[in-house]
Amino acid sequence: MTSQITYDDKTVRRFMSASIIWGIVGMIVGVLAATQLSWWQMNGKFLEAITFGLFKGEGLSYITFGRIRPLHTNAVIFAFVGNMVFAGVYYSTQRLCKCRTASDLLSAIHFWGWQLIIVSAAITLPIGLTRSKEYAELIWPINIAVVVIWIVFGANFFWTLAKRNEKSLYVSLWFYIATIVTIALLYVVNHLSIPTSLTHSYPLFGGVQDALVQWWYGHNAVAFFLTTPILGIMYYFIPKAAERPVYSYRLSIIHFWALVFIYIWAGPHHLLNTALPHWLQILGMLFSLMLWAPSWAGMLNGLLTLRGAWDKLRTDPVIKFFAVAVTFYGMATFEGPLLSIRAVNSLSHYTDWTVGHVHSGALGWNGFMAAGMFYWLAPRLWKTKLWSTSLANFHFWIGLVGILLYVASMWVAGVTQGLMLAETNTGGATLKYEFVETLRQINALYIIRSIGGTFYLVGFLLCAFNIFMTARSGKAVDDTCEVTLLEKTKKDTMSLGESLRQDPVIYAVLAVAFMILWFLLPHHADKAALAVTLILIAKAVSLFKKDSRTWSQYFDRLLENYLPFTVLIFFAVAIGGVVQIIPSLLVNKSANMEERLQIPYTPLELEGRDIFVSEGCYNCHSQMIRTLVPDVMRYGPTPEQGYSRMGESLYDFPHQWGSKRTGPDLAREGGALVAGSQTMRSGRRDNLWHFNHFWDPRQTSPGSNMPPYPFLYDTKADFKTLPKRIATMTFLGVPYPKMSKDAIEQSARDQAMEISAALVKAGAFIPNKTELTETELMRQLAESKVVALIAYMQKVGSYEALDHERKPSALDPDTIRDAGTKPAPATTSNK
């Protein structure tokens, strides 16, 4: 029986237009953020010039780098690439299933809901409402909206699969399924938090646990939001555009399963040489190396599909964009494993090399795949010709030059800064350069990066114009198609149980289970587990060699049953996270810490910390001294300072280990209590230094590119909600003494007054408010955000020493290793 169906191309057109519009916004914000690193005036002072003095001020809080950078990343990831992915998914899924999307209502809710989320992100981030976890900054009410809309998208997608008139699932759909289930899992776990108000919450995990969960999410957001859906799009649009068969089906299979299984384990490579347990660092590194081949399999399948269609490269901009995009995918997925090697990472991490790496993925792979897809789709969605091929070609070349300028300048900047930071004076006992000197050295490269980004933006604006003119010249007509209806009894006949009781599944599950036991079991038992793992692998290989047909037939049948297939994908992606995160949640508690344990923040310091988080300071300042000589020499040279221990940030909700140092590390900024005071501390630098520095960073650190923060001096700190926040902290396990609400607020006010008094005594004043008397000034400061922030700065890194050894534990392979190599301590601790 056949039927005439009309595809829902309206939704595709909507998502595509939204992607282009948000892409422009996201890239403009990106260029602004890039220029801020070269010229601090771009944090607001430039508005004085372009508004002819209508705006007056040293900076504008809404566009300081710390707030704008998250806006840029969220806009390009979720608004630009997100909408582009949805356009590609809605277009290709309907055609691969030979049926219209299941529900027009759900499609509309998905579209408008997603745009609403983007708009609310664009409002909340600049006003300083943030969770501070990278690419997970949005506040909790928006998080819930994202989950709801994602469920709407997933329901619509799977419902369409259920209604399909195509028996078997094409590769693109495998990748879309993996995207939908994995993003749901990652997003929910990393956004678990406890609200303290409508706009603020603390994450459920703190310190090392929060770092681990965050980078499990952060890395796999790149994997499953910026990679797998784009691969699905590649598998559909490249063979379409090239009119060539896909290079190799078996490569698709291996590529897919290896990618979804291995990717998840690689998250800890964002935390190499930090206080993260060593075994997790090693897993992160080794699984990243194992990702190289599967990633390149994707590149091969993309590029070699173009074999035989290379002549189109001269004439068709679509093929040009796709070929270069896939090449950048290959380059970025080679660079990724390289940067995950601990030795390489010790140089590259916290520098611009990482920034260059993500942009070769974002601009090259995502951006050019998007452009190729737009140029291919536009004539088909509006039933016309592309308005200008030569303009598209110009977009290609200016975009490519832009990427190359961007990536090359970031490579040089990253390596230069990494080497300079490690360079010592003769004798090797002291470092040669101050941090700010390295920053001045790479400023020219920052300018080249801004130029590269601007080129890319110009190219993208031309693309928008070209697509707009194409749409105007054509007519929005939906495709129709004659399809043979597929009876319900001909698809989805395999039960879940049947799909699991198969050799490939059984052997995979057993081998992975024993591999995990090998990681975790004590000495000797682990070797037995390893032996079993290897035997299982050998047995599986021999079974496959003997009769590969049963395995391939099983897989072909699995592709005709979308639910069991989805369940298997879910297992494959879930396992890595479970193995890495659950042990850490169970083991890394305050009772198990050795050497050092963080001293909880006073109420005022907690308020200061929340201001630090809200201003996005973590975008440029880490709080993690790695176990590396240049780090320890620069940030913690004395034995009581040293590298950062796990216990020192255990009560940090969220953690502030950071991922990039545009400014120096802050882990040892704090210090001891001032003699005679119960609360006021003085660290590496004095209160007055911080006071001067926040007002004008260049006064204390000539050459600094930090934004000035004069607005912190006349906005009030929030003492009223502190009791609620402290109650949440207590609930999360921070050992606060019992305090009444009044006592909490009073404590914050007392400490703020003490700091303000000290500042005024030392001669501090607010340059544009010299008319204030000392008492008035003291009162104003005691209520201000800047004093709370100073209190926090003076506290960072304060710890109490512990004399407690970690006991060997099954969930802690490092303690097992130590127990085997170290003589047992003579006396046991009494704790």
Partner 1 sequence: MSEEPEIRPGQYAQKKGEVVLREHVYDGIQEYDQTLPNWWLFIFFGALLFFFGYWIAYYQFGWTKTDAHRIDQAMAVIAEAKSKALEEMLAKLNDEALVNEWAADPAIVANGETTYMANCVACHGQDLAAKFDIGGGQSVPLPGRSLTDGQWEYGSKPMDIFRIINEGTPAGMPGHNGAKMEAWGQKIPPIQVAELTAFLISRNFAEFNKL
| Structure tokens belonging to residue 389 | 């091929």
* Cα–Cα–Cα angle for 589, 594, 597, rounded to 5 degrees: 70
Q: Can you say whether residue 434 is alpha, beta or left, with left for phi > 0 and alpha for psi between -120 and 50 degrees?
A: beta
Q: What spatial distance separates the first Cα and last Cα of the chain, rounded to whole Å?
A: 76
Closest CB to partner 1 among residues 293, 458 = 293
Quick one: 783 or 814, whose CB is closer to partner 1?
Answer: 814
Q: Which is nearer to partner 1, 399 or 647 (CB)?
A: 647
DSSP state of 681: B
Report residue 809 CA to chain centroid gap: 31
Count the Cβ atoms, other than its own, within 10 Å of residue 397: 12
* Strand, helix or coil for residue 798: coil
Minimum separation from the CB atom of position 789 to partner 1 (A):
17
Tokens found for residue 332: 């970025």
Nearer of residues 640 and 742 to partner 1, judged by Cβ: 640
Determine the Cα–Cα distance for residues 814 and 519; give it in Å rounded to an integer.
Answer: 10
Shortest CB 517 distance to partner 1, Å: 13
Burial of 324 (0-12, 13-18, 19+ CB in 10 A): buried
Cα distances (Å, whole numbers) of residue 732 to 201, 671, 717? 12, 25, 23
Looking at beta carbons only, is 131 or 621 nearer to partner 1?
A: 621
Residue 340's identity, in one-letter code, is: S
Cα–Cα distance, 284 to 361 (Å, whole number) = 20
User: In a 10 Å sphere around its CB, with 0-12 CB exposed, 13-18 middle and 19+ buried, how is residue 672 labelled?
Assistant: exposed
The smaller minimum CB distance to partner 1, of residues 507 and 765, is found at 765
Minimal distance, residue 336 CB to partner 1, in Å: 13
CB of 326 to partner 1, least distance (A): 15
Smallest distance, partner 1 to C-beta of residue 171, A: 8
Nearer to partner 1, 10 or 698 (CB): 698
Local structure of 596: helix, strand or coil: strand
User: Minimal CA–CA distance to 410: which of 37, 743, 740?
Assistant: 37
696/745 with CB nearer partner 1: 696
Q: How far is the CB of 278 from partner 1 (least distance, A)?
A: 6
C-alpha span between 706 and 719 (Å, rounded): 27
36 CB-near residues (< 8 Å, 6+ apart): 42, 43, 65, 68, 705, 707
As a whole number of angstroms, the longest Cα–Cα distance in the chain is: 91
Judged by CB, which is closer to partner 1: 389, or 692?
692
Q: Are 110 and 118 in contact (CB under 8 A)?
A: no
Residue 33 Cβ, how far from partner 1 at the closest point, in Å?
Answer: 27
Comparing CB distances to partner 1, the nearer of 139 and 759 is: 759
3-state secondary structure 444-456: HHHHHHHHHHHHH
Closest approach of partner 1 to the CB of residue 7, in Å: 11
Query: Smallest distance, Å, CB 821 to partner 1?
Result: 5
Calculate the alpha carbon distances from 526 to 329, 522, 533, 538, 658 in Å: 37, 6, 10, 18, 35
Q: Map residue 784 onto helix, strand or coil.
A: strand
Nearer to partner 1 (CB atom), residue 497 or residue 676: 676
Tokens 């998007």 found at: 370
Q: How far is the CB of 638 from partner 1 (least distance, A)?
A: 6
**Where is 560: in which H helix or E strand?**
none
From the CB of 149, what's the least distance to partner 1, in Å?
27
What's the min distance (Å) between Cβ of 641 and partner 1?
9
- Residue of 470, 314, 474 lying closest to 396 (CA atoms): 314
d(CA 264, CA 254) in angstroms, rounded, equals 16
Residue closer to partner 1 (CB basis): 63 or 597: 597
